Chain A
Amino acid sequence: MLETLALVIQRAVVQGIPLLYGSTGEIITEKSGNLNLGIPGIMYVGGISGVIGAFFYERSTENPSSLLLVLIPLLASILGSGLMALIYSFLTITLRANQNVTGLTLTIFGTGFGNFFGGSMAQLFGEGGSIALTQTSLAFQTSFPFAEKLGSIGTIFFSYGFLAYLAVIIAFISAYVLKKTRVGLQLRAVGENPATADAAGVNVTRYKYAATIIGGAIAGLGGLYFVMDYTSGVWSNGGFGDRGWLAIALVIFALWKPNVSVIGSILFGGLYVIYLFIPDLARSTQELFKMLPYVVTIIVLIVVSMRKKREYQPPEHLGLSYFREER
């Protein structure tokens, strides 16, 4: 019994990590007033960029070092998703394009980008129609060696690859920075009321760019974790599914607080896979269960709207572009 529970929690965490990366990235972005709906696409690009980096490194050498096996995909992923976020920033901040349209376009672009390169690599080099990055995946999946000896405790706390721990660390650091530092205060001011921040001497444009690009890079790591750890280095087109949207739902669930989203991600992950642990479910019923995270998000939205507490609301200037002369 205890072992089953430990297993459920472990599956929930593994499911939750990509969501946690996505939501932390999106929270940082949204705190600057940018509603980046391109996050699903950015996570997709983060995944495929890592795959491309890992693939060429694995092919280039007979004896890959495990350090480079981790570093190369990691940097490739950050570069890919960071570039996507830069495109979004340039369009919405400098050119003041509509944020929703830009974001959705990027999601469509990112998904297509991933599928195109994933598909063509599989066709050109893949064995049996798909790409398996076994060595890279093993490096990413390395967990604490003592995990197995600790039984259930080991399963729950120590059985994950390093990216899972990094996700939690990043989330807590983000929460601290947002709440307790000068940079965090100024970032929040930019998202709430850019005119006021501007008048107080905060460089609104710089903050918006930085938050959006850092947020995008963090979100992209969620895609990397998914390919390298969760699916053991096997890229399959469309495999990432709707996790990007779930990450955005998690932002609302967590009320724009990265530390809350740590718990939220595990909850969402659990709800997302709970059908696996309920015996004798028909295929269609399974799909109903997959809706649960969204249902929870809607309930949270309703409860929060009824409480009407200003702290639980999205940043006031979210989704709007800032133009200094427009006072």
Chain B
Amino acid sequence: MSETPALELKHISKSFGSVIANHDVSMSVRKGEILSVLGENGSGKTTLMNMIAGIYYPDEGQIFINGSEVVIRSPKDAYEHKIGMIHQHFKLVDVFTATENIVLGLRGNGRLDLKKAAESIQEISGKYGFEIDPNKKIYQMSVSEKQTVEIIKVLYRGADILILDEPTAVLTPQETQKLFSVLRRMRDDGKAIIIITHKLHEVLSLSDRVSVLRKGEHIATVLTSETSESQLTEMMVGKKISLNIERSEPADPVDRLIVKNINCLSRGGVKLLDDVSFTARSGEILGIAGIAGSGQRELLEAIAGLQHIDNGEITYIDPKTGKKENLRDKSPLQIREMGVRLSFVPEDRLGMGLVGNMDIVDNMLLRSYRRGKSIFLEKKQPRTLAEEIIKQLEVVTPGVSTPVRRLSGGNVQKVLVGREIASSPSVLMAAYPVRGLDINSSYLIYKLLNEQKENGVAVIFVGEDLDVLLELCDRIMVIGSGKITGIVDARSATKEEIGLLMTKTESEGGTMYA
């Protein structure tokens, strides 16, 4: 242990405004070692790594490379210190070949010698076992090939410290295996590798040591050989915190929405939804837990008719007539008319639900303009509705005619959720409705959802915070890599139980540990 680490972080802190992303984090990685950085969404993994790669600059703390302190202010600085990061979103020019992308931005002769570059790329590929055609255009490549190009790009620049941000999120199991064998070969070659992930089985099968982050703080670093899945989960999710959200018993629940064996493939052939089946009942809040990007969005969109599903059935039972209808044959508009409402809060709140440049009244109008009788817009009703929402949900706004984009995030969300609730839905789907909200606004949204539940609406709530899910929902369904890994009773389930389900992928489990 006397060896100087290739990279060492000491007391790193970083905050964005009032949000603390990292607080006093210290960790290190040695040459010829794979270190996993494990943590939930929002635990500060990516922010920490971005500080090493020069995207962000730490507020406090020091970074040491091979024992000497360095200052990294830009990705270029990082390259000079032989640090290379492979981001989740690839930075590649689509119409260029692999070679052109790899040499882009490098200094050298005015005339490009792509042949020579291609040769050294082949050399690198041969050394670590990549499969790549240097003359293939990026747009013709699969996701895994693009990732390979990104990794070679970093190696071509001579990186000794590699950081991979959730490299397996977009890969098939076979591609993941291939990536892992390449990473192992790079480790044996003496490179220091940091891999960000939240998949426990990957951590256990690949890494030498694991550092766990929770809520921006470094919890512990342990040797992989001396730890277990349950110990890691406990460190990752932490102890339960009581939030005191009021929860009523569901009043005579009946089946409202039956989802049966739906499958959905991405264009690249990766399974987004894998044989998903569940039932949502009236007067009940069904929580959906899972690592971001595990198929939550696709699932909700499939129900709303926005996402094409390859097979399976979605049956809706009309609360008044009891008639069963298959939502697969319906257009999104018909589904809406039946009372299935989606209030999706995407990463950018204004993206899908509201039009930022329009005022609250006009945004209400977006849902009702079809009902108008004449060719002119009927503004009276939407205005009354807008005023009601402002009053009831305490939306802070100068008036109904203020463009929505000028409101703060929480108020935008209230407008969005308020509008969807106002149409008295029979199924209400809310994805991340409290993302970015302060405590009071969050509780207001919980209250609204509870009211809907008491009115007999089937509420589907996609959340990030396990504590909230456990206190707000009646049942919690856990989704992992597009597969339902379990449905538990929220009143008796524990955080660890859900954490384990979130990070587990049954089908791969057996082979991955071997």
Question: Digit string of B484-500 for contact with A (CB within 8 Å is 1, else 0)?
Answer: 00000000000000000
Q: Closest Cβ of chain A: how far from B165's Cβ, in Å?
A: 14
Q: Across the interface, do B95 and A311 meet the contact criterion of CB distance under 8 Å? A: yes
Which chain B residues border A196 with CB–CB below 8 Å?
91-93, 104
Is B432 interfacial (CB-CB < 8 Å)?
Answer: no
Q: Across the interface, do B105 and A201 meet the contact criterion of CB distance under 8 Å? A: yes
Q: Across the interface, do B93 and A192 meet the contact criterion of CB distance under 8 Å? A: yes
Question: Digit string of B91-113 for contact with A (CB within 8 Å is 1, else 0)?
Answer: 11111100010011110111110
- Give the interface centre of A184, A188, A196, A200 by most chain B CB atoms within 10 Å: A200
Which chain B residues border A193 with CB–CB below 8 Å?
91-94
Q: Across the interface, do B94 and A192 meet the contact criterion of CB distance under 8 Å? A: yes
Q: With A183-B110, A185-B112, A310-B137 in contact, is A316–B104 under 8 Å at CB?
A: no
Is A186 interfacial (CB-CB < 8 Å)?
Answer: yes
Is A180 interfacial (CB-CB < 8 Å)?
Answer: yes
Q: Closest Cβ of chain A: how far from B152's Cβ, in Å?
A: 14
Is B76 interfacial (CB-CB < 8 Å)?
Answer: yes
Q: Across the interface, do A186 and B105 meet the contact criterion of CB distance under 8 Å? A: yes
Bound CA–CA A182/B137 (angstroms): 18
Q: Across the interface, do B110 and A182 meet the contact criterion of CB distance under 8 Å? A: yes
Q: Across the interface, do A185 and B104 meet the contact criterion of CB distance under 8 Å? A: yes
Q: Across the interface, do B94 and A197 meet the contact criterion of CB distance under 8 Å? A: no
Q: Across the interface, do A182 and B94 meet the contact criterion of CB distance under 8 Å? A: no
Q: Across the interface, do B104 and A200 meet the contact criterion of CB distance under 8 Å? A: yes
Bound CA–CA A59/B139 (angstroms): 59
Residue on B nearest A177 in the bound complex, by CB: B110
- Give the interface centre of B76, B93, B108, B112 by most chain A CB atoms within 10 Å: B93
Is A195 interfacial (CB-CB < 8 Å)?
Answer: yes
Which chain B residues border A201 with CB–CB below 8 Å?
75-76, 79, 105
Question: Digit string of A296-327 for contact with B (CB within 8 Å is 1, else 0)?
Answer: 00000000000000110100100000000000
Is A2 interfacial (CB-CB < 8 Å)?
Answer: no
Residue on B nearest A191 in the bound complex, by CB: B93
Bound CA–CA A75/B103 (angstroms): 37
Query: Which of A180, A189, A192 is B112 in contact with, Cβ under 8 Å?
Result: A180
Which chain A residues border B93 with CB–CB below 8 Å?
188-189, 192-193, 196-197
Bound CA–CA A280/B109 (angstroms): 59
Q: Closest Cβ of chain B: how far from A109's Cβ, in Å?
A: 29
Is A61 interfacial (CB-CB < 8 Å)?
Answer: no
Is A95 interfacial (CB-CB < 8 Å)?
Answer: no
Q: Across the interface, do B104 and A189 meet the contact criterion of CB distance under 8 Å? A: yes
Q: Across the interface, do B105 and A181 meet the contact criterion of CB distance under 8 Å? A: no
Bound CA–CA A123/B94 (angstroms): 55
Q: Closest Cβ of chain A: how far from B263's Cβ, in Å?
A: 28
Q: Across the interface, do B96 and A182 meet the contact criterion of CB distance under 8 Å? A: no
Is A210 interfacial (CB-CB < 8 Å)?
Answer: no
Is A199 interfacial (CB-CB < 8 Å)?
Answer: yes
Bound CA–CA A201/B111 (angstroms): 18
Residue on A nearest B79 in the bound complex, by CB: A201
Is A83 interfacial (CB-CB < 8 Å)?
Answer: no
Q: Across the interface, do A181 and B94 meet the contact criterion of CB distance under 8 Å? A: no
Q: Across the interface, do A186 and B95 meet the contact criterion of CB distance under 8 Å? A: no
Q: Across the interface, do B104 and A202 meet the contact criterion of CB distance under 8 Å? A: yes
Q: Across the interface, do A200 and B105 meet the contact criterion of CB distance under 8 Å? A: yes
Which chain A residues border B91 with CB–CB below 8 Å?
193, 195-196, 199-200
Can you report 19 A-B residue pairs in the complex whose CB atoms are below 8 A from each other? Answer: A180-B111, A181-B110, A183-B110, A184-B112, A185-B104, A189-B93, A189-B105, A192-B93, A192-B94, A193-B93, A193-B94, A196-B91, A196-B92, A197-B104, A199-B75, A201-B76, A310-B94, A310-B137, A313-B95
Knowing that A192-B96, A196-B93, A200-B91 touch, tell me 14 more A-B residue pairs with CB under 8 angstroms: A180-B111, A182-B103, A182-B111, A185-B104, A186-B105, A188-B95, A192-B95, A193-B91, A193-B93, A200-B104, A200-B105, A201-B75, A310-B137, A313-B95
What 4 pairs between A and B have smallest CB-CB spacing?
A200-B105, A201-B105, A196-B91, A192-B93
Which B positions have Cβ atoms within 8 angstroms of A?
75-76, 79, 91-96, 100, 103-106, 108-112, 137, 139
